[in-house]
Amino acid sequence: MDLRIFTEPQQGATYDTLLTVAKATEDLGFDAFFRSDHYLHMGDVSGLPGPTDAWITLAGLARETKRIRLGTLMTAATFRLPGVLAIQVAQVDQMSGGRVELGLGAGWFEQEHKAYGIPFPKEKFDRLEEQLAIVTGLWATETGKTFDFHGEHYDLTASPALPKPTQPRVPVLIGGHGATRTPRLAAQYADEFNMPFSSAEDSERQFGRVRAAAEAHGRDPGELVLSNALVVCVGADDQEVARRAAVIGREVDELKANGLAGSPAEVVDKIGRYAEAGSQRIYLQVLDLSDLDHLELISGQVQSQLS
């Protein structure tokens, strides 16, 4: 079971804070550092000092880290034109020596679009599908040849399809709860399917849909990595769990029901239930980015039991 660190910087974090967490992620042996792609905070927080851009952040981290994978859960298709996004991700992949992964979603948070003057179209899922076709198509185009795409929302003519990523194929992540269209897109375009903030039982059902969609697409379901994203709150004892829950404004019982919370033994046991449901990788949503002791505890007493 791979464990990856997943952050939500829109809730309030500087680039320097993210760099500190990314370096701890690398030093403590986690597989990857991922971040959300949002421009507005959520819930009862100030969001100060303000948002950081996902791909600018990852470009910086690409030069400051050496081993960990870097990526997004999920880049919003509404934020970027697909041709521009393909260039950005390819460049950051080059800057990292081939360690980038692209999680791409439709975009959903209408208020952040209003706050920063970003169009919020009704047909978001149709746009996402075209973006997936364009981004992957640009990267797959042989050097020296051109790429064309004529869709309902995007039109590319004689694109040189450059630059190319360092990796032969940048892993693409697709996620969500949709029962039909989401599994189909994952089967067609994804290297990994992510089930966010869901029970093991719901994850198992959705994983089954994704596998079935892959088979219907003529693809080996075993090619797809299946993963979960879950909030994490681990403590050496009950008091430490309660303290960490209070800092992020959550209740212990709720965290235990909906995330990975409790003692290291409790969390290892629950991760085991997700593994039985088919999950191969878990993104640990870390909400207190100042608590590096939390990461050290997870590394030493949770991750060490999963290898």
Percent of the chain with pLDDT over 70: 100
Find out whether 113 and 119 touch, Cβ atoms under 8 Å: yes
Q: Is the pLDDT of residue 307 over 90?
A: no
* Strands 260-262, 172-175: pairing kind: unpaired
Rounded CA-CA distance 301/244 in Å is 17
Instruction: Please tell me the predicted confidence (pLDDT) of residue 79.
Output: 97
200 falls in which pLDDT band (50, 70, 90)? very high
Using a CB cutoff of 8 Å and minimum separation of 24, what contacts does 269-278 make? 270/200, 271/1, 271/302, 271/306, 273/200, 274/200, 274/203, 274/228, 274/230, 275/1, 276/200, 277/200, 277/201, 277/203, 277/204, 277/207, 278/203, 278/204, 278/207, 278/226
Residue at token pair 């992957």: 136
Find out whether 108 and 77 touch, Cβ atoms under 8 Å: no
Please name the amino acid found at residue 79. Answer: F
Instruction: Please tell me the predicted confidence (pLDDT) of residue 276.
Output: 98
**18-69 pLDDT, tens per residue?**
999 999 999 999 999 999 999 999 999 999 999 999 999 999 999 999 999 9
Task: For residue 192, give the nearest of 4, 22, 53 by alpha carbon.
Answer: 4
Q: Is the pLDDT of residue 220 over 80?
A: yes
